[in-house]
Amino acid sequence: MGTNELSMRLWHERELLEMLLFKLEVQQLLLSAGSGRWMHFVTHEIEQVVDRLRTTGIARVVDAAAVAEEWGAPEGATLREIIEHAPSDAWRDVFEDHLRVLSQLVAEIGQLRDANTQQLNAVLRATQETIAGLGPDTGEYTTGGTRARADDARIVDTRM
């Protein structure tokens, strides 16, 4: 029976989305703390969860196609369309709950991903500006052509 398989697949997808949300929150905490030391680990873990989500998504499409055919929904039906063709209120409720939670998780993930991207971009800009500032100063000369000041000492903020 494809209905049970689809429901179990959606549960698995929900768990993976929750894991992705957790990993993104860990990434955000590392960014907020200015701790880049562990960033490569969390980035790798995020990539692993995304890969697992891709695989699960492909399997979900196959399971959904079987249920759509069984319930008389159009070929390539979305979960929302499958819900409309549910033969009983019980299955309709189960799949509506899956759809509601999946939609909520995807929205939270999108917001957190965007916030993390903004933080990463800010860190990148600050790093680039710091590195650019470490080079020789080219714009501070006197009218006689000598350097106006020597910039031998540099202060680098390591708390970024």
From first to last of its 160 residues, the chain has per-residue pLDDT tens of 589 999 999 999 999 999 999 999 999 999 999 888 899 999 999 999 999 999 999 999 999 999 999 999 999 999 999 999 999 999 999 999 999 999 999 999 999 999 999 998 888 888 788 887 776 655 555 666 666 665 555 555 666 5
The pLDDT tens digits of the residues spanning 111-147 come to 999 999 999 888 888 878 888 777 665 555 566 666 6
**Contact indicator for 80, 99 with CB cutoff of 8 Å:** yes
| Residues sharing a CB contact under 8 Å with residue 25, sequence separation 6 or more, in sequence order | 112
Which residues, including other chains, have CB under 8 Å from residue 101's CB and lie 6 or more apart? 14
Give the number of other CB atoms < 10 A from CB of residue 27.
23
The alpha carbons of the chain give a radius of gyration, in whole angstroms, of 26
- Domain extents in the chain: 2-130
**How is residue 6 written in tokens?**
């689809």
CA–CA distances in Å: residue 116 to residues 40, 51, 84, 155 = 14, 19, 37, 27
> 2.60.40, 3.10.520, 1.20.120, 1.20.58: which CATH number matches 2-130?
1.20.58
